[in-house]
Chains A and B, each alone.
Chain A
Amino acid sequence: MAQDAERVTTPPDGRPLSEQPRWRQDFPIDWEEDEYVSRRDLVKFIVLTSLAFATGQFWLLGKQRFGGGAGQPQPVPIAEAGELPIGGYKMFSYPEGSSPRLLIRTGDESFVAYDQQCTHLLCPVVPNVEEDALHCPCHNGWFDLQTGRPTAGPPRRPLPRITLEIRDGSIYATGIEERTV
């Protein structure tokens, strides 16, 4: 609190600030004093904000660990094995009504499936089997075709992968692998 001598504004009764009611000390008319943040207020703000962030993190952690979740959706046939040429791809949704996913044939017997949305800003990614990559044209983001991990550009997280299984010549989507690294 500034000294009385530094104050330009005087209370109407002319008595010093220490004899004034509390509200007058809390709501000073002087601009400088109004802008002034005491060390105690700053510490209080920092501690409470950090505490709020920490609580949020613990809540997320608890939700992840004990929330259970709905589990993986049921396996669904998404394509015939011979349907796609090598290097070809097909869009599907899994489970029903999800955001679009990509099924890509990378070799004779090898298939990969990823979410089509780039992990940067949700633009659709384009598979490029010749270069063994997935390309996001919005901000020139690149992902590795085999793993779905980002290799260049702004994306930092891998694309969610759909686990696949081939049964009797049909390709089944069996689960979604959300990854952070």
Chain B
Amino acid sequence: MPVPQDMEFFMDPGRCIGCQACVQACTECDTHKGQSMIQLDYIDRGHSPQTVPVVCLHCDSPTCAEVCPADAIKRTDDGVVQTARKPRCIACNNCVLACPFGVPKMNTEMHLMMKCDMCYDRTSVGGKPMCASVCPSGALYFGTREEMARMRPASKPVNTFQFGMQTIHTKVSMMVPEDVDLVDVVSSMHEPVVSHDVTDDVFMENMHEETDQD
């Protein structure tokens, strides 16, 4: 049974409070019991407490599957990119290195690439993914587009990402301000982080004093 077409996954990293609930809930998923496929990234840990949960975005042309030399990564009809097929995966790590979002994880003990499969055991029977069902702040949400529009009137979902020359369309959408049509990941890396600046530059001041004395 496929995942219903009207149910979509929305990421809203700006709402992430770094509580790790999704990371913990992910380990409860029956498709990869005991292993968390979500990684909570700190955007700029030195300067900001802002975190972002990394779930698979299920690309329309998945880079992980494109680079797989063993033909192990497959995408089901509903657009969900599944964990590598166990008999085929050769644990070469190509997908781990190639994915622009850093999603696939190599399970070295099992010699198997495992990745977020949108809790296929739950979503394929009409349930919600583990992470989305526990997120207290709505940074991860699974539901219809209408529900999302009602809850976030000031944002809109975007599913186009630009990594240098590579444009990626995904199944999962990211909530962005109304005037944004595409998330240009590489160019935004050079922008300063928009958040609370908590720099404590006592050491820097000391260094300046020392250099002044010289």
**A9 near B71: Cβ-Cβ < 8 Å:** no
A58 at the interface (CB under 8 A from B): no
Q: Decide: A32 near B77, CB < 8 A? Known: A12-B66, A27-B71.
A: yes
Separation of A32 and B78 alpha carbons in the complex (Å): 11
Pick the residue among A11, A12, A27, A30 that contacts B75 (CB under 8 A). A30
B73 at the interface (CB under 8 A from A): yes
Chain A interface size band reads 10 to 19
B59's nearest neighbour on chain A, judged by CB, is A9
B144 at the interface (CB under 8 A from A): no
Q: Decide: A29 near B79, CB < 8 A? Known: A9-B60, A34-B74.
A: no
Question: Which residues on the A side are within 8 Å of B61 (C-beta)?
Answer: 9-12, 29
**A8 near B78: Cβ-Cβ < 8 Å:** yes
Question: Which residues on the A side are within 8 Å of B50 (C-beta)?
Answer: none
Separation of A12 and B66 alpha carbons in the complex (Å): 9
Q: Decide: A8 near B77, CB < 8 A? Known: A29-B62, A29-B65, A31-B82.
A: yes
CB distance from B158 to the nearest CB of A (A): 18
Digitize A85-115: 1 where CB-to-B-CB distance is under 8 Å, 0 elsewhere: 0000000000000000000000000000000
Q: Which positions 42-95 of chain B face chain A at CB distance < 8 Å? A: 60-63, 65-66, 71, 73-79, 82
Pick the residue among B60, B71, B74, B76 that contacts A10 (CB under 8 A). B60
Q: Which positions 28-42 of chain A face chain B at CB distance < 8 Å? A: 29-32, 34
Question: Which residues on the B side are within 8 Å of A8 (C-beta)?
Answer: 60, 75-79
* Residue of A12, A30, A32, A34 with most chain B CB atoms under a 10 A cut-off: A12
Q: Which positions 16-61 of chain B face chain A at CB distance < 8 Å? A: 60-61
Question: Which residues on the B side are within 8 Å of A31 (C-beta)?
Answer: 74-77, 82
Q: Which positions 1-17 of chain A face chain B at CB distance < 8 Å? A: 8-12
Separation of A34 and B66 alpha carbons in the complex (Å): 14
Further contacts, 13 of them, CB under 8 A, given A29-B73, A30-B75, A31-B74:
A8-B60, A8-B75, A9-B61, A10-B60, A10-B169, A12-B66, A29-B62, A29-B65, A30-B74, A30-B77, A31-B82, A32-B77, A34-B74
5 contacts between A and B (CB under 8 A): A9-B62, A29-B74, A29-B75, A31-B82, A32-B77
| Residues of chain B whose beta carbon lies under 8 Å from any beta carbon of chain A | 60-63, 65-66, 71, 73-79, 82, 166, 169
